[in-house]
Structure 1
Amino acid sequence: MADEQARADDAGYTEYGKYGEYGGCEEYQEYEDDLDLREHTGQEEEPARRSGARRAVLVAVGGVFAALVGVGGYGAYNLVSAVSGGSSGDGGGRPAAATGAAQQPPSAEQAEAVAKEFLAAWERGDFTVAGGMTDRPEAARAALAAFHEGVPAKTLTLTGTGPAPAGTPSEPAVGFKVRAEFDSTPDAWEYHSVMGVMRAADGRMLVRWVPSVVHPKLGAGRTIGVRPLANPVSKPTDRKGRPLDAFPSLRSVLPQIAPADGATVVTGQAVVLSGGGAQDPEQLFVLTPSSAPQVKLTLDADLQQVAEEAVKQQSAGGKPASLVAVQPSTGRILAMAYSPQGGFNRAVGGGQPPGSTMKVITSAALLEAGVSPDTVVPCKETTYSPRAWHNDEPGDFPNATLTDDFARSCNTGFIDKGLEKLQPGTLAAVARDQFGLGLQWHIGIPSRDATIPLPGTKDEAAAEYIGQGQIQVNSLLMASVAATVQSGTFRQPVLREDVKRVTAPGKLPADVARDLRAMMARTATQGTARAPMSGLNGQIGAKTGTVETGSGQSTNSWFIAYRDDLAVAAEVEGGGHGNSAAGVAAAQVLKAGGGNG
């Protein structure tokens, strides 16, 4: 018996020499096939031979496995897979007898199971394990680690939401929800994403790795991380907190509004998506919002809308125009519009002669010089300084009073009485001391102050008394003149309450203010301003202005007025008489203001 076993062992070692050391898989297969043939044909072998053959097969496989392990485990795995009937992945080995489960696409249940394991590994921060469950382990591990580093969440919860419509029969997709919580905000960042599940060649089910698994918008070359938000630019509102950035005339004004003195600007942080050729990072979630103290301007959005429309209508055809509305009791600027819009703000920065609206200040100077509203001031058809001066209306009116001249806007009467009663420089002094013109106002944005030069000749003085010559003002300044008459006190107009105002050196005498209000009321009801002011009730007053600009050129239209606690000034370059273009625009605002600022 021992001899038979020895012979069998010798046979086995002989087979090892044939198949294990020098032999190949083909020879091994032939031997195995021979054994299979014998089993199927019923041929019997003696026990010793069968025992030796089996020993030879085992030794041969063990020898080949040991040899291949010495040069690389992967080759060993392929060979064992081939020997056992599986796929080697490189074309070697015996193909499977049937397709088998390893060749079938993942079922929905299998895909969800894989997704659950992947999400669990990601959630606990085990990125190596999570990456190993994908078809691109290193890329997935690096992306998950970068997300964890870039988004410092206090907690991260990942929850599967079931099959997703993005899947295909060969690669079902699973949806999931990401919820990140942070120390800096009570709000959680939530979003949904999708992963596809595939079956690898070795039969394992893996997550198909693409950057969008981390976030639907994450693509090649893009990153997600926390970035500081841009320093906030305070968007000023009107006095009631309503937005103003929709108004064309304010588009160049609002950027000039600085935060209040001592205001603290907070720079916030947000989770952003950046890179990938995008010019600006895309904000995904705000961790800490930026903040800047809200600046409320004195403007009234409702009145601003009316002012914008009024200026638009009267500037049709390209005529430059502007309008400013002021509250006499406070000095607050309630509306400010100009055309062309978006460029130079002529409403507060322009400078041009105001025409006969200047007669309000000239009248104040004459009243202080002893002239009364009932003093006879003849309105000649022509007067000389020695320059010849005329009126809009022809004819002589020898019995006209100062009030008559004011109401009909008689140039010759004001020139004659001004040259008689006023000294050079008086007009500028009254304008400064009682109306606050020329005192370097600070309204909240850059603005231009009045220029009323000292006249060097009688001709220059005559021109100034009727608002022509070298005088330079704008709608803001003249709206303030009307407001000062209405209230009796100069209050520097402001666009924001926190600016430092100037005060006039003097005060408009009460009787002078009273007389001026009476003269402006007469003009509004019976004089040159009666057409645009008709239909307005309450305390009203107005003064027109028509400015000669040169031979053959259209005159510039000026109009100043008030209605209760609302004063307005408007000008339209080339607009004609004061009671036409500018008067119509101003009256629109006075009507909309309801008589109150």
Structure 2
Amino acid sequence: MPKSVKIAIATVLTAMVTVAGYGVYNIATALTGGSGGSGRSGGAAAAGARPAVTGPPTAEQAAGAARAFLAAWAGGDLSGAAAATDDPAAATTALTAFQRQVGPSALHLTASGPAATPGPSAAGSTPSATPADTALSVPFSASVEFAGTGTPWTYDGALSLVRARDGRTVVHWTPHVIHPHLDAGESIAVRPVAGAPAGITDRNGKPLTGFPSLAGSLERFTARVPQGGTADDGSAVLITKDSDGTAEKLFTVTEPRPLPALRLTLDARLQEAAEAAVAKQSAGGTRAASLAAIEPSTGHVLAYAFSPSTGSNLAFTGSTPPGSTMKVVTAAALLEAGVTPSTPVPCPATTLVTGLPVANDFADARPGNTFADDFAQSCNTAFLEKGRDVLKPDSLPRTAKEVFGLGLEWSTGLTNFDTRIPTESTMAAAAPELIGQGRVQTNPLAMASVAATVQSGTFRMPILLPDLPQQPAARRLSKGVLNDLRALMTRTAQSGTAAGPMAGIPGAAAKSGTAEVGGGKPDDSWFTAYRGDLAVAAEVEGGLHGAQSAGPAVAELLRIGNG
């Protein structure tokens, strides 16, 4: 049988879908006799089935029963074929479903070898749920023809033959009777398949080959299965997992037409800089580094990179505390609560959170600070104490979701982790979230989006394909609050904790972050910033202060700029 090809499907099949003239519905229960079985054994037969008695049939009996079953199935006598199994009800439903879903114009099934003790099947396990000493296996060859096509689909399978309680030799019913790769919880059908694009380019038509971080991701765009048929689509026999929609292509029925090159939102020039930046900050792959860049005016992802490139795409799927970069969102909540940049907000040396002392990156107390000073200096204690005074437990998660889109379900074009900021029951429990600690989880893509939202004033969901829908946030910040937030980030880039990496980058606005991860591990380095129509965020695990590792990575892209 030809080697199967794995395809990522953009949407999970529902119980009943009609696509390009083929009726598709879930047959997992039918294939397992409603037993709820899992794995390649297909589970036990349903109540009412004829269970096998001890002792296998003879080789002659097994071969004869197999030939009778295959002849009935191939001849369209589905009820007769089902009656030749140990679960006629499940078999009738499954064979009918195969006929409707796959829709062959002709089906040829031939026993291709003698009966033998069951061994490993093409699917990697025995084709029967019965013990080997009560069954014999008969291999068969299948040839499936489709109207209007010249080449039949051929594959090899195996039947497990058992002796029923009434003494007859019957086929033991499992999903593998239909096809050796079919499992419980899967469906088999002919579905439309899209042709592979002639290539994948950046937004300017430049090829995106040769970038380590994109190598695995680009396959997700070249192997897309459409939700509905079009003139360019072909068709193929697919086995689809009902749980996540991933599919295995078994046979191409009709070839799809070639598609033109697919343009992503990426910018090859920024992508090259992003790859170099994370490679440098990962210190030869000894620590993970990731980065994402977004165009604030559109939400288009202009670059993303991660190192080591053989690992996970942490720019999109990371789920760690962002440290003080979250203070951008906290500051928005405080500003909306009536705090202004000039409001006196002392910065004590330490404060208590749930009975434990929390300090700053500097040892001295700064009682004369304003809120603008606290933001630029990244004073943890000021944010914690002022937050407990004027905010509620749901203030941060509500502002994050309603204004910045954090916590919405993002559809970027790739797998991504949606930021989580749990709503705690008390301000004491919620306090660590105000400085990006506690149970906050996010990634560079989300924090780049935070900076992009500040720059443009509007949350635009990050996307990699320009035609993807973008779910809006519920509201925008007022003009006054937005201008104050921009001023806070600009000052931080000019004279605050972000000044070092942002030196020589006019118009930059930024926020650095240092996230404690516990367990004796060094702190993670975070940085988010924008300049013009470009917002960038980076994380370096174990990189310590944001200005030390993540900041220089972000600076590399901001110096290039967007167009």
TM-score with structure 2 length normalisation?
A: 0.59
- SS of the equivalent of 2:384 reads helix
1:387 corresponds in structure 2 to 356
1:319 corresponds in structure 2 to 287
1:253 corresponds in structure 2 to 217
1:297 corresponds in structure 2 to 264
Structure 2 residue 403 is the aligned partner of structure 1 residue 434: yes
Q: 1:581 aligns with which of 549, 552, 557?
A: 549
Q: Deviations over 1:281-312 (max 9, x none)?
A: xxxxxxx9951243211000111000000000
- SS of the equivalent of 1:324 reads strand
CA RMSD of aligned residues (A): 2.0
Structure 2 CA distance for aligned equivalents of residues 411 and 430 of structure 1: 19
1:355–1:546 contact (8 Å) kept in structure 2: yes
Q: Deviations over 1:335-370 (max 9, x none)?
A: 000122133111111111000000000000000001
Structure 2 residue 272 is the aligned partner of structure 1 residue 309: no
1:252–1:343 contact (8 Å) kept in structure 2: no
1:377 corresponds in structure 2 to 345
- SS of the equivalent of 1:359 reads helix
Q: 2:436 aligns with which of 456, 467, 473?
A: 467
Structure 2 CA distance for aligned equivalents of residues 381 and 562 of structure 1: 30
Q: 1:515 aligns with which of 471, 484, 488?
A: 484
2:511 corresponds in structure 1 to 543
1:570–1:583 contact (8 Å) kept in structure 2: yes
Structure 1 CA distance for aligned equivalents of residues 277 and 227 of structure 2: 35
Structure 1 CA distance for aligned equivalents of residues 194 and 493 of structure 2: 51
Distance 1:248 1:407, change over 3 A: same
Q: Deviations over 1:474-521 (max 9, x none)?
A: 111000000000111111111111111100011122111101110001
2:194–2:256 contact (8 Å) kept in structure 1: no
Residue 267 of structure 1 and its aligned partner are, at CA, apart by 6.8
Structure 2 residue 527 is the aligned partner of structure 1 residue 559: yes
Structure 2 residue 452 is the aligned partner of structure 1 residue 483: yes
Structure 2 residue 494 is the aligned partner of structure 1 residue 525: yes
2:318–2:442 contact (8 Å) kept in structure 1: yes
Q: 2:371 aligns with which of 370, 387, 402?
A: 402
Structure 2 CA distance for aligned equivalents of residues 543 and 264 of structure 1: 50
1:259–1:295 contact (8 Å) kept in structure 2: no
Q: State the identity %.
A: 51
Q: Map 1:217-236 onto structure 2 (within 5 A).
A: 232-234=195-197, 235-236=199-200
Distance 1:488 1:231, change over 3 A: closer
Structure 2 residue 298 is the aligned partner of structure 1 residue 330: yes
Structure 2 CA distance for aligned equivalents of residues 546 and 511 of structure 1: 28
Structure 2 CA distance for aligned equivalents of residues 295 and 448 of structure 1: 25
Q: Map 1:102-113 onto structure 2 (within 5 A).
A: none
Structure 2 residue 207 is the aligned partner of structure 1 residue 243: yes
Q: Map 1:108-507 onto structure 2 (within 5 A).
A: 232-234=195-197, 235-257=199-221, 258=224, 264-265=231-232, 291-317=258-284, 318-385=286-353, 386-507=355-476
Structure 2 CA distance for aligned equivalents of residues 378 and 360 of structure 1: 19
Structure with greater Cα Rg: 1
Structure 1 CA distance for aligned equivalents of residues 511 and 433 of structure 2: 16
2:350–2:357 contact (8 Å) kept in structure 1: yes
2:299–2:460 contact (8 Å) kept in structure 1: yes
1:387–1:459 contact (8 Å) kept in structure 2: no
Residue 393 of structure 1 and its aligned partner are, at CA, apart by 0.5
1:264–1:292 contact (8 Å) kept in structure 2: no
Structure 2 CA distance for aligned equivalents of residues 347 and 264 of structure 1: 36
Structure 1 CA distance for aligned equivalents of residues 424 and 543 of structure 2: 28
Q: Deviations over 1:389-424 (max 9, x none)?
A: 100001111110111000000000000000111011
Letter in 1 for 2:464: L
Structure 2 CA distance for aligned equivalents of residues 461 and 509 of structure 1: 25
Distance 1:438 1:474, change over 3 A: same
Structure 2 CA distance for aligned equivalents of residues 260 and 325 of structure 1: 28
- Gapped regions of structure 2 (runs ≥ 5): 1-192, 236-254
Residue 245 of structure 1 and its aligned partner are, at CA, apart by 2.4
2:232–2:256 contact (8 Å) kept in structure 1: no
- SS of the equivalent of 2:200 reads coil
The count of residues paired between Structure 1 and Structure 2 equals: 346
Letter in 2 for 1:416: E
2:201–2:207 contact (8 Å) kept in structure 1: yes
Structure 1 CA distance for aligned equivalents of residues 552 and 465 of structure 2: 28
- SS of the equivalent of 1:357 reads helix
- SS of the equivalent of 1:435 reads coil
Deviates more, 1:294-303 or 1:413-422: 294-303
TM-score with structure 1 length normalisation?
A: 0.56
Letter in 1 for 2:210: A
Structure 2 CA distance for aligned equivalents of residues 289 and 451 of structure 1: 41
1:260–1:498 contact (8 Å) kept in structure 2: no
Q: Deviations over 1:171-206 (max 9, x none)?
A: xxxxxxxxxxxxxxxxxxxxxxxxxxxxxxxxxxxx
